[in-house]
């Protein structure tokens, strides 16, 4: 929990019991010889020193740079008129979407995620070799085992640990809060948080209820260790899940059970269903969850909605953005929206919208932003941050 001035302190008892091993946890094997006893005393001393350091304060983090990348190929509402019974006016009036970018043959999500990451590093003035951690929030990696390591290889972040995080459209916010903890506890100095999705791969392009919504894209933010005595840029957060709502939005595995013994499917490819969504249920969930989670994050930060310069929400539907802003009492001219151009890009939508606003000088250093994502899981998450 941030304290006044951006400092974050933990009670000594909490640090010793939760964050670090107790001295009594030294493995018995270390006490079987004189040499082992020396090791035991050394490790015990290290634990005590680390515990004492942790009780002083947590290191602040800073949002130092942003980047984004989207495919060149575009599907307009007019294009969709040729696929399903719809038209531009019907789609735009109900969603706010007019275009969406989709991966073409030969394009990979990893490459777009890497491009977004490189642009964030360039803005921050940090070399890829100095990145300590890469968190890729995605539900649609190129590789079932994850694409973060591919991004690491492409950008040349040789020293970085890289892993995927799956929390659907809430993924970027969850990733941002997760990455911040590695910096605030002093483990890492530079953390890349990327939101990237290619849900066009899992859309039924003959289903009017879903094909009008989704597009592909990537966005990234570089978190760096804040200078000494500077306040932490992550002011507060709130995150939640409800697995009982999973039935309303999912893309289920659809392969055969006991595949090894199946005569005709033993060598079949594993696969997932296209996205299934109960539109009305998801809409009702979103308009309730977004204001609630933003208010909780504001309370955690110790600030009010009047302190927020910009509302940067998951770009799912313009009616959801408008409803959330109204319920929060935030004027529409303080809500970032690029939905018309990109549609719903899932985990990419918040960093993509953020990057565009930063590069347009709409969001400037010192601005307080309320970020909020919501989606499959069901999950919802908000972070109150100061840009730059």
Q: Which residues are catalytic?
A: 169, 314, 344
Which residues are registered as beta bridge partners of 164? 136
The single-letter DSSP state of residue 287 is: H
> Measured between alpha carbons, how far is 156 from 148 in angstroms, rounded to an integer?
12
> Measured between alpha carbons, how far is 120 from 157 in angstroms, rounded to an integer?
13
Q: At what angle do helices 318-328 and 88-95 cross, to 10 degrees?
A: 20
> Measured between alpha carbons, how far is 313 from 315 in angstroms, rounded to an integer?
6
- Say whether 145 sits in a helix, a strand or coil: coil
Contact call for residues 248 and 378 (beta carbons, < 8 A) = yes
Positive or negative, the CA dihedral 157, 160, 161, 166 is negative
User: For residue 91, what are the CA distances in angstroms to 81, 118, 151, 340?
Assistant: 10, 34, 34, 10
- Cβ of 255: how many Cβ atoms within 10 Å? 12
Which tokens in the block code for residue 188?
């890492």
Contact call for residues 232 and 8 (beta carbons, < 8 A) = yes
> Measured between alpha carbons, how far is 174 from 184 in angstroms, rounded to an integer?
15
Q: Is 168 left (phi over 0), alpha (psi -120 to 50) or beta?
A: left
């Amino acid at each position: 929990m941030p304290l006044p001035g951006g400092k974050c302190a933990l009670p000594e008892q909490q640090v010793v019991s939760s964050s670090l091993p107790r001295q009594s946890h030294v493995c018995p094997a270390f006490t079987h010889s004189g040499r082992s006893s020396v090791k035991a005393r050394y490790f015990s001393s290290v634990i005590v020193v680390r515990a004492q350091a942790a009780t002083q304060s947590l290191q602040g983090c800073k949002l130092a740079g942003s980047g984004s990348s989207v495919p060149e190929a575009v599907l307009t509402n007019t294009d969709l008129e040729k696929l399903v019974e719809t038209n531009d006016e019907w789609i735009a009036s109900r969603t706010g979407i007019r275009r969406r970018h989709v991966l073409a043959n030969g394009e990979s999500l990893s490459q777009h995620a890497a491009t977004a990451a490189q642009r964030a590093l360039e803005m921050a003035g940090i070399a890829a070799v100095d990145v300590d951690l890469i968190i890729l929030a995605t539900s649609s990696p190129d590789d079932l085992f994850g694409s973060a390591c591919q991004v690491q290889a492409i950008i040349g972040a040789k020293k970085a640990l890289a892993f995927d995080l799956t929390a659907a459209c809430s993924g970027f916010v969850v990733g941002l809060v997760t990455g911040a903890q590695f910096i605030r506890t002093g483990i890492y100095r530079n953390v890349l948080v990327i939101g990237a999705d290619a849900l066009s791969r899992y859309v039924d392009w003959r289903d009017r209820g879903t094909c009008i919504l989704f597009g592909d894209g990537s966005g990234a933010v570089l978190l760096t260790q804040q200078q000494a005595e500077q306040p932490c840029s992550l002011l507060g957060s709130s995150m939640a899940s409800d697995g009982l709502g999973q039935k309303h939005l999912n893309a289920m595995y659809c392969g055969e059970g006991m595949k090894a013994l199946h005569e005709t499917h033993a060598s079949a490819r594993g696969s997932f269903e296209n996205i299934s969504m109960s539109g009305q249920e998801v809409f009702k969930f979103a308009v309730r969850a977004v204001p609630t989670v933003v208010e909780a994050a504001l309370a955690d930060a110790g600030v009010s909605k009047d302190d927020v310069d910009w509302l940067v929400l998951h770009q799912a539907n313009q009616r959801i953005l408008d409803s959330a802003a109204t319920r929060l009492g935030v004027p529409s001219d303080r809500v970032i929206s690029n939905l018309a151009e990109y549609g719903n890009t899932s985990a990419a939508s918040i960093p993509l919208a953020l990057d565009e606003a930063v590069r347009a000088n709409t969001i400037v250093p010192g601005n307080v932003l309320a970020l909020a994502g919501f989606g499959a899981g069901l999950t919802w998450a908000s972070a109150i941050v100061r840009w730059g």
